[in-house]
Amino acid sequence: MKSRRKIPLVGSDGQPLPERIQRALHDLLPRFNRWFPLQDEAVVTGLLEQAGQRIKEKERKSGPIESLHGFAWTVLHNLGVSELRLSRSKVQLESIGSEEGERLMSYMSSDQHATAIEERLAIEQALAQVTELERRVALLKVAQFTSAEIAEQLGSTDRAIDQAYFRVRHKLKKLLGSQGEC
């Protein structure tokens, strides 16, 4: 997705969206790709166009938006969350291709495969015993997001995220014993 050319985004009338809206959305694309690992370029382009159409409609009703990038991110973020909740995206995100699957399986012996499954189940069970905030913080930290990025997404502060991460690491270490590294 990084090699994506700037494809003109069009509104519901089939006409290109205003240049400033397109520029704002294209500027947000790298951030969107970090938060929402959608593989299908057509889906991402569709979400960008939907966001552009909503922004255009908002400006038509209320006049120019002062903080266009902020508003555009909010709209794009909401569309991304909605897309991830759809079953087609869940299947895509939780699946691996056949070539990649065969390659991964060839590296594991049957004992390693069973152990990996057992470890994953233990981690899932442990995560089910922590609060929703702690679970989200832990998963986002594992995905290499910074405390500042997590705080922004969850509407919190860096310090609160760091405290939640400390608590969840402590709980997971107790729950998993020597099985897991947090």
Q: Give DSSP secondary structure letters for 21-42.
A: HHHHHHHHHHHHHHH-----HH
Class of domain 109-175: mainly alpha
- Please answer whether residues 112 and 121 qualify as being in contact, where contact means their C-beta atoms are separated by less than 8 angstroms: no
Query: Which region, left, alpha or beta, applies to residue 67 given φ > 0 means left and ψ of -120 to 50 means alpha?
Result: beta
What sign does the dihedral 107-109-111-117 (CA atoms) show?
A: positive
Tokens (6 digits) for 174: 């107790």
6-43 residue pLDDT tens: 668 888 888 889 999 999 999 998 888 888 777 778 88
pLDDT for res 180: 47
- Please answer whether residues 76 and 28 qualify as being in contact, where contact means their C-beta atoms are separated by less than 8 angstroms: yes
8-state DSSP, 179: S
Q: Provide the H-helix boundaries in the chain.
A: 19-35, 41-62, 68-85, 87-93, 98-107, 110-127, 132-142, 147-154, 158-176
Q: Rounded to whole angstroms, how far apart are CA atoms 141 and 162?
A: 10
Burial of 54 (0-12, 13-18, 19+ CB in 10 A): middle
40-53 residue pLDDT tens: 788 888 899 999 99
Instruction: Say if residue 80's pLDDT is above 70.
Output: yes
Global pTM value: 0.48
